[in-house]
Amino acid sequence: MITVPVRLSERAYDVLVGAGARHRLLEVVPVGAARAAVVTQEAVGVAVDTGVDQRVFVIDEGEEAKCLETVEDLCRRFARFGLTRADVVVAVGGGVVTDVAGFAAAVYHRGVAVIHVPTTLLGQVDAAIGGKTGVNLPEGKNLVGAFWQPVSVLCDTEVLATLPEREYRSGLGEIAKYHFLERDSSTPLADLDLDEKVARCVAIKAAVVEADEREETGRRATLNYGHTLAHALETSGRYDLRHGEAVAIGLCFAARLARRLGRVDDDRVADHDRVVLGYGLPTSVPPGHHPDDLVRLMARDKKALTGYTFALDGPKGVEVVAGVEREAVAATLAEVAS
């Protein structure tokens, strides 16, 4: 078992990574908790034992479940269960579950402890780590949310063996992102086994979160590398893409945009394509896309400060770059069109 600490003063916690990590749940339930609300989805099929009076709360499948209606429904069911501020919410599932359950925990009684047991690769390397919770609006992804750190995260790599192939590949899109956020490692991310790879991604994210927990300096926004186009692709509803697949395309787009702005050279763009293709992920926008719609949606991304704002690679690594002109965005989008 690998332990990765997230050092956030009084909000510090450990992420446990390895086969069977979910069975350590009894050890991390807060002392004094009498009830546990286990939030999951029917398709997850992973049982957990909290060691206290627990009730399972099933939410709908798919990204559509990431909405305010789901949060309200959960909070009302928590109240009927008798959940108090001294109790705990346990999120068992992928990014949709940890985002929704984490947000519900953040707002119910103005804050109830939450433990994440991510059951997807994407959840283990990214979504369940760092305390960002939220739901979508019709106008965009994750526009309503809160910072609410878990008290523990249990990344049980054993459960990944049952994931559908495409769901597993979606997680690889986030791992591809971490190739370009990692600095000065003696062992490349690609050369690690699964447990070590998950732990390395968690450690990279933890370091960024520790430096900028609430996105006050711009450092944490670099974790959204590749996500501006990815969110536009997802929000448009026109494409059959999983999140990690959209991120993979977004990484290739961001590399080309950085080249257009003189931040990176052809070799660095080729590195992005090599990593993305190495994980069997797409590098271009699917056919039938509507470039004007995607350009418009990228301007509405919640991380936009003034005009077009992107996390872009450069001589000092990935940084937040504001004030990118629309013409550069549109021209780069044409480069990644099938």
Point out the residues that are catalytic.
110, 132, 174, 205, 215, 220, 224, 227, 231, 243
Task: Single out the residue of 143, 289, 211 nearest to residue 6, CA to CA.
Answer: 211
Distance in angstroms (rounded) separating the CA atoms of residues 41 and 59: 5
C-alpha distance from residue 173 to each of 17, 95, 183, 235, 245 (Å): 19, 14, 18, 18, 6
Q: Where are the extended beta strands (E) located within the chain?
A: 2-6, 13-17, 35-41, 53-59, 88-93, 113-118, 132-137, 140-147, 152-155, 308-312, 319-324
C-alpha distance from residue 263 to each of 128, 173, 238, 295, 299 (Å): 31, 23, 31, 21, 21
Distance in angstroms (rounded) separating the CA atoms of residues 270 and 268: 5
C-alpha distance from residue 213 to each of 6, 39, 70, 82 (Å): 11, 25, 26, 32
Cβ-proximal residues to 211 (8 Å cutoff; 6+ apart), any chain: 217, 219, 220
**With the C-alpha atoms ordered 200, 204, 205, 210, is the resulting torsion angle positive or negative?**
positive
Distance in angstroms (rounded) separating the CA atoms of residues 243 and 282: 12
Pairing of strands 132-137, 140-147: antiparallel
Distance in angstroms (rounded) separating the CA atoms of residues 314 and 262: 9
Distance in angstroms (rounded) separating the CA atoms of residues 114 and 128: 11
Residues written for the chain:
338
Cβ-proximal residues to 270 (8 Å cutoff; 6+ apart), any chain: none
